[in-house]
Amino acid sequence: MIDQFFYEFARLLVDNPESVKVEKKDIDDTFCEITIFANKGDTGKLIGKDGKMINSLKTIISGCKAKDGKSYRVSVKANDE
């Protein structure tokens, strides 16, 4: 559910939505890492000015912790294309 949310949200923000990919990796029962891959030119849009966009996404995801008890780490990386 979380990875699908990030996928759809990221596709709305970027200029090249076809290059967006989201990976979710469960580290253990209480921690999960989500990585958003996008075109190199679009990573700035996902991070935002002074990191405001990615920080707001992290705030949204912290609400999910209350529901399922998992902590999440979100990062944005450029595709290796």
pLDDT value of position 2 = 83
- Which sign does the torsion angle of CA 80, 56, 14, 34 carry? positive
Residues of the chain with pLDDT under 50: none
pLDDT value of position 80 = 72
pLDDT value of position 81 = 55
Q: Which residues pair with 73 in a beta bridge?
A: 33
pLDDT in tens, 4-27: 988 999 999 899 999 999 999 999
CA distance 11 to 61: 17
